[in-house]
Amino acid sequence: MLAGWFEGFHKDTGLAPAQSQSGASPADIFIASADTRILMAQGVPVAMTAINAAAVDTVQVGGVYVPPEQRLKGYGGTVVALHLAERAATGTRLAVLFAANDRAARAYQRIGFVGVGHYRVASLKTPLVVGQGARA
């Protein structure tokens, strides 16, 4: 089920998952991460989120997904708010995220995020791996 959610997230955002050097699927790595959370409502999984990066007291939230049949019920904002409350208890003071659409942006604003601009994703034809030197 979560692998399907991972695929749905990538379809909704238009982003392709980064390929793993370990051979494990990107979905398996995401799902197994200690920084991934699943929101349950009455015993049913209804939303997921993750922390993609952390530095000092700041985190970048990502991987927020609510399956279509669970949308417009507040689950996306709830899962992010609960995850950030958990992180705040261990010293996180600032969170950043990127909303894939206006509806998601409004959900994040309801839990305290402030819009600061717009973004565009550009994907390299040939991915570069940090630490492997420059390619010609």
> Per residue in 28-70, pLDDT tens?
777 778 899 999 999 999 999 999 899 999 999 988 989 999 9
In a domain, 122, yes or no: no
**Confidence category of residue 123, pLDDT binned at 50, 70, 90:** confident
What is the rounded distance in angstroms from the CA atom of residue 129 to the CA atom of residue 127? 7
Please report how the helices 75-88 and 102-110 are oriented relative to each other, as an axis angle in degrees rounded to 10: 50
Domain span holding position 63:
2-110
In a domain, 37, yes or no: yes
The secondary structure of 70-107 as a DSSP string is GTTSSHHHHHHHHHHHHHHTTT--EEE---SSHHHHHH
In a domain, 65, yes or no: yes
